[in-house]
Structure 1
């Protein structure tokens, strides 16, 4: 077997999918069955980055790369394209979207580059037959991420709140609408109003130059840290959370919060 890392990886993938001598599990897989693993590996890359763990990041990037190789192999078996085609396509795209680096001169500040990048993406979508402002946004994105992309795309053509204060006013309106639905407790209506509330919150984050995903991730981390501290405080007393009352846990929570400053 060759010593070239990429060629070795492709050879390993081909061997796993060999119809005679390959792995029975790998031979049974298709795009749909592998897709959840691809998404999972992307999240594990993000987790390694968040933990600032270079060793884990190297391993997780390898796992994600294997997912790309897996999908490319499935496509090659169907005569659609190869891994080399995938690499060539992304290389050409990056060159096309960075004319200030690989071609004609262009403004080098971040704002101008972002504008040029989005303009090139719009041209690419148009050449692919997309005509609507929202075309090309994957429906399988996590809901918060998709909401951010939908709103950002609409904002580019002027469909947007003028400032964060206006979004806060809309948030108050949506909270009132949700509150009004609570007495009737119609599940569909409540879910509809909850969705509107989440969508406005995502837009508030966007107007404040954040994302709903990043803000919620930070809140999750904070909640987990504080709740574990409450658990620890109870464990020192030889008890578990289910043995403590809500008032006691709230008191411990406030102590943890105050200690964090």
Structure 2
């Protein structure tokens, strides 16, 4: 890779300049001692942390903070792309090109170039399956990331199974199953409590999905409200319900 240590960063900064900065920081000889030794695995958790901080800024509707946190997320993207560039497998430009191709492919109603190619295919999920070569339920389930938060993963698995006519698809029946799961959890002995809790949570996610509610977001906001209530009620000297 061409050395860029004689390059001096100057505003206004661009995405290309961000990439150049990361390249300099990772230079094997003259780069930053910390940055140049990092790997995908060593900064893996940083990606998650920066994404969560961006979500906090979105929830707070704080434009200044969101601008900063989106920059941190972008830096993570560029950092990982720079590592792959060093390995000769792909570049940041490849990343940008790939996502542009994906967006054009999945919007045949907007971009004429993809309309003919995708004629007769309706819906985002169907286009995504064609793009990724998914033809079976096994294909679809296997590509739900195991690293997703548990509630989000459960809801994605349920949605993909429902697309093949499997799983609970009736809202009333899902509500009934949730009520039964609550009863099973309440009566389960200690040895069966964890499994019963899993069934209860899975049933709750399914009922939420069929009601048009995102379970992950619902629990996130409920936890936030609970924390706020704890602080308010502590100040009043009352018990949180």
Give the TM-score, by structure 1 length: 0.80
Q: Separation in 2 of the partners of 1:89 and 1:228?
A: 46
Q: Shift of the alpha carbon at 1:79? A: 0.8
From 32, 37, 40, give the equivalent of 2:41.
Answer: 32
User: Structure 1 residues 141, 162: CA separation in 2 closer, same or farther (over 3 Å shift)?
Assistant: closer
Specify which structure has the higher proportion of helix.
Answer: 1
2:184 is the counterpart of 1:163: no
The more displaced of 86-95 and 40-49 is: 40-49
User: Paired residue for 2:199?
Assistant: 196
User: Structure 1 residues 130, 198: CA separation in 2 closer, same or farther (over 3 Å shift)?
Assistant: closer
Q: Structure 1 stretches of 5 or more lacking a match?
A: 107-113, 235-248, 255-261
User: Structure 1 residues 194, 129: CA separation in 2 closer, same or farther (over 3 Å shift)?
Assistant: closer
Task: Tell me, yes or no, if the aligned pair for 1:125 and 1:131 is still in contact at 8 Å.
Answer: no
User: Structure 1 residues 76, 104: CA separation in 2 closer, same or farther (over 3 Å shift)?
Assistant: closer
2:188 is the counterpart of 1:181: yes
From 218, 223, 228, give the equivalent of 1:225.
Answer: 228
Runs of 4+ in 1 over 3 A off after TM superposition: 1-4, 127-131
User: Paired residue for 1:48?
Assistant: 57
1:161-186 Cα offsets, whole Å, 9 max, x none, are: 2432211211122223223322xx12
Give the TM-score, by structure 2 length: 0.87
From 116, 120, 123, give the equivalent of 2:127.
Answer: 120
User: Paired residue for 2:30?
Assistant: 21
User: Paired residue for 1:96?
Assistant: 105
Task: Tell me, yes or no, if the aligned pair for 1:178 and 1:194 is still in contact at 8 Å.
Answer: yes
User: Paired residue for 1:71?
Assistant: 80
- The number of residue pairs the alignment matches comes to 227
User: Structure 1 residues 10, 128: CA separation in 2 closer, same or farther (over 3 Å shift)?
Assistant: farther
2:205 is the counterpart of 1:208: no
1:35-81 Cα offsets, whole Å, 9 max, x none, are: 11111111111110100000000000000000000100111111110
1:117-157 Cα offsets, whole Å, 9 max, x none, are: 11111112226999533131111111111011000111111
User: Paired residue for 1:151?
Assistant: 158
Q: Structure 2 stretches of 5 or more lacking a match?
A: 1-7, 116-120
Q: Separation in 1 of the partners of 2:64 and 2:124?
A: 32
